[in-house]
Amino acid sequence: MNPGAQHPDDSAAQPLRSDAERNRGRIIAAARTVFGRDGLTASMASVAREAGVGIATMFRRFPTKEELVAAVFSDRMDAYADAVAIALDDPDPWHGFVGYVEAACAMQAADYGFADVLTMTFPSAKELEGRRDEAYQAMLKLIKRAKATGRLREDFDPSDLVLLHMANAGVVNATGDAAPDAWRRVVALMIQSFEAPARGPLPDSPEHDALYQAMLRASPEGPTAPAPDKGG
């Protein structure tokens, strides 16, 4: 047997791999368009139609919606984590904190899908959630520094940023093209409420596990995983 001879299946195998990669790229590009326009409530079938592929092809490439979401938004989660890192580098912690809030909310306003991503959690998307956790740990440092300046109210809790993202996502999705800049006023009002001195006490913040379950329930796969420890 000649080891250099071409196997009868070789000529067919390479085009198949190329086609599969092209289909994957088309699906991701289509999902960016559909999720960016309609949010994560958009169906897998609508993404398949946008990509011009059959639903069976869609599910061969991405068996779950979580996997598709992770592929589509990994770069945006990187940008989100970078926004926190940039804020930490600001010599004025309060200015950095405000800049981070405005940048993150602007990302939500620019992409309805990402507006939803920041209000959900995706347990099976390990890389996406890993980047989110990196951003969260950096955000804790940012909050501590901003409080040390006396500009951020002492009773501010990290969960307040999750609530802000939930509120902002609601405004972004509700106003759409009719009032595309409405989110800016909401975010400005929230930032002013974060600043010291506080005008009055706040109700208790949500329990960590309860807020995690709310984010999990909103995700495409629903409540399928236990909440992590608060420290993690």
Q: Answer yes or no: are the C-beta atoms of 58 and 79 closer than 8 Å.
A: no
pLDDT tens string 196-225 = 999 999 999 998 888 888 888 877 765 544
Rounded mean pLDDT, 170-186: 94
Would you state the pLDDT for residue 211? 85
Would you state the pLDDT for residue 222? 58
* Lowest model confidence (mean pLDDT) among 24-33, 46-55, 142-151, 209-218: 209-218
More confident residue, 136 or 6: 136
64 phi-psi bin (left φ>0, alpha ψ -120 to 50, beta other) = beta
Rounded mean pLDDT, 28-52: 93
Would you state the pLDDT for residue 63? 93
Q: Pick from 99, 102, 158: which is nearest to 132 by CA?
A: 158
**Helix 44-51 vs helix 65-89: angle between axes, to the nearest 10 degrees?**
90
| Neighbour-count burial of 75, counting CB atoms closer than 10 A to its CB (0-12 exposed, 13-18 middle, 19+ buried) | exposed
**If pLDDT is split at 50, 70 and 90, which confidence band does 133 have?**
very high
| Neighbour-count burial of 151, counting CB atoms closer than 10 A to its CB (0-12 exposed, 13-18 middle, 19+ buried) | middle
**If pLDDT is split at 50, 70 and 90, which confidence band does 230 have?**
very low
Between the alpha carbon of residue 85 and those of residues 25, 79, 111, 208, 226, the distances in Å are 30, 10, 21, 24, 29
| Neighbour-count burial of 200, counting CB atoms closer than 10 A to its CB (0-12 exposed, 13-18 middle, 19+ buried) | exposed
Q: Pick from 102, 100, 116: which is nearest to 171 by CA?
A: 116
Q: Answer yes or no: are the C-beta atoms of 98 and 90 closer than 8 Å.
A: no
More confident residue, 134 or 2: 134
Would you state the pLDDT for residue 22? 87
Which helix (H) or strand (E) segment holds residue 190: the answer is helix 182-194
Q: How far apart are CA 138 and CA 181, in angstroms?
A: 28
Question: What pTM did the predictor assign?
Answer: 0.81
**Helix 126-148 vs helix 93-110: angle between axes, to the nearest 10 degrees?**
140
Average model confidence (pLDDT) for the chain? 87
